[in-house]
């Protein structure tokens, strides 16, 4: 059984809406308007690729499956800052977002150096070590998701099944 059903709707105006339905039937959602509507669908799909390929990271969708609402991710941080074990996933997603904005692909060594710097600067014990193979698998999954999103007609939704700690399942609705 899925821990979460993720739906990203491509609204008729070209913007988006994200909804997540938990196994218990509760739902959290957010509209993604303006610049957010262009950025967040790809960002959210990157989260999905990272969290399903790596499986071991506790990230956005794991926290949502545990009961976090989408409004809990940001100021004023109603649940407090992200748990330390969620930072590795956030670092990978941020790295890939920066890569996409720059139009380049960096190596796993570049990511690992960036992650080590982040943890050191913030006085955190932890690492975000990735291999080139893992990074390649994430990029391949993300490319597939981005292609599905690009091909999705306005008004339709991409639906993703999320199971914590396992491989992924994709469907579009």
Kindly report, residue by residue over 59-79, the tens digit of the pLDDT: 899 999 999 999 998 878 888
Comparing 164 with 104, the larger pLDDT belongs to: 104
**Side-chain half-sphere CA neighbours of 132 within 13 A:** 4
What is the pLDDT, as a whole number, of residue 55? 85
Please check the confidence at residue 171 and state whether its pLDDT lies above 60: no
Task: Look at strands 4-10 and 169-172 and give their pairing.
Answer: unpaired
User: What is the average pLDDT value for the chain, to the nearest integer?
Assistant: 88
What is the domain count for the chain?
1
Task: Look at strands 27-32 and 169-172 and give their pairing.
Answer: unpaired
pLDDT tens-digit map of 124-136: 876 678 999 999 9
Q: What average pLDDT does range 78-90 have in this prediction?
A: 83
Tokens of 11: 């609204």
Determine which of 11-15, 24-28, 139-143 has the lowest per-residue pLDDT on average: 11-15
CA dihedral sign of residues 161, 80, 35, 135: negative
Please check the confidence at residue 33 and state whether its pLDDT lies above 60: yes
Q: What average pLDDT does range 110-138 have in this prediction?
A: 87
Percent of the chain with pLDDT over 70: 92
For residue 168, what are the domain limits? 4-172
**Separation between Cα atoms, residue 93 and residue 130, nearest integer Å:** 12
């Amino acid at each position: 059984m899925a821990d979460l059903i993720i739906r990203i709707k491509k609204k008729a105006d070209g913007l988006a809406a994200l909804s997540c339905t938990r196994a218990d039937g509760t739902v959290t959602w957010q509209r993604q308007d303006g610049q957010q509507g262009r950025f967040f669908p790809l960002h959210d799909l990157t989260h999905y690729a990272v969290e399903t390929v790596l499986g071991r990271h506790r990230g956005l969708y794991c926290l949502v499956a545990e009961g976090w609402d989408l409004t809990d991710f940001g100021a004023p941080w109603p649940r407090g800052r992200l748990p330390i074990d969620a930072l590795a996933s956030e670092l990978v997603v941020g790295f890939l977002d920066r890569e996409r904005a720059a139009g380049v692909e960096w190596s796993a060594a570049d990511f690992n150096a960036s992650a080590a710097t982040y943890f050191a600067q913030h006085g955190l014990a932890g690492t975000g070590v990735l291999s080139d193979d893992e990074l390649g698998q994430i990029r391949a999954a993300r490319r597939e998701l981005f292609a599905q999103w690009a091909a999705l007609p306005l008004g339709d939704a991409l639906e993703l099944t999320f199971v914590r700690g396992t491989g992924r399942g994709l469907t579009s609705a």
